[in-house]
């Protein structure tokens, strides 16, 4: 069994006729849903603050309806510092939904 594992690892790195080894080449064969899901997962991982509204309590909804952020100032400062380093817009904590520039940032990172 150990011999099989060693040979399997050696074979997996070599190109075979009719198969692509490059990850960029593999995206050409991915369906639109797979590309969208990969993009969505990356966006959710990098910009989780844009999904915070999904966990709002009734009190948080009321605060957001008054154009105020239910998020702490410390959290917003930390998030905005990270976003500034990535070169995307600041997050105010009031708007619910995805920012266009963060979505484009993820598209660029995936090469779309």
pLDDT in tens, 37-60: 999 999 999 998 888 888 888 998
> Do the domain assignments include residue 70?
yes
Tokens representing residue 73 in the block: 């100032």
> Do the domain assignments include residue 3?
no
Query: What does the pLDDT look like over 55-78, one tens digit per residue?
Result: 888 998 899 889 888 888 999 999
> Do the domain assignments include residue 68?
yes
pLDDT of residue 25: 55
Q: What does each C-alpha distance from 65 to 43, 58, 70, 95 come to in angstroms?
A: 25, 11, 10, 10
> Do the domain assignments include residue 15?
no
CA distance 95 to 69: 9
Tokens representing residue 60 in the block: 């948080």
Q: Domain range for residue 53?
A: 31-110
> Do the domain assignments include residue 9?
no
Percent of the chain whose predicted confidence (pLDDT) is above 90: 28
pLDDT of residue 55: 83
Phi and psi at residue 11, in whole multiples of 5°?
A: -70, -35
pLDDT of residue 4: 52
> Do the domain assignments include residue 18?
no
Q: Count structural domains, the chain.
A: 1
Tokens representing residue 74 in the block: 């410390």
Q: Is the pLDDT of residue 8 over 70?
A: no
> Do the domain assignments include residue 11?
no
Q: What does each C-alpha distance from 21 to 76, 77, 92, 109 come to in angstroms?
A: 42, 42, 43, 20
């Amino acid at each position: 069994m150990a011999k099989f594992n060693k040979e399997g690892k050696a074979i997996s790195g070599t190109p075979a006729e009719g198969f692509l080894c490059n990850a960029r080449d593999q995206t050409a064969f991915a369906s639109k849903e797979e590309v969208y899901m990969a993009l969505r997962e990356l966006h959710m991982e990098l910009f989780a603050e844009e999904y915070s509204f999904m966990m709002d309590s009734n009190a948080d909804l009321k605060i957001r309806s008054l154009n105020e952020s239910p998020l702490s100032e410390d959290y917003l400062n930390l998030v905005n510092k990270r976003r500034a380093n990535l070169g995307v817009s600041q997050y105010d904590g009031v708007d619910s939904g995805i920012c266009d520039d963060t979505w484009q940032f993820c598209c660029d990172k995936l090469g779309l």
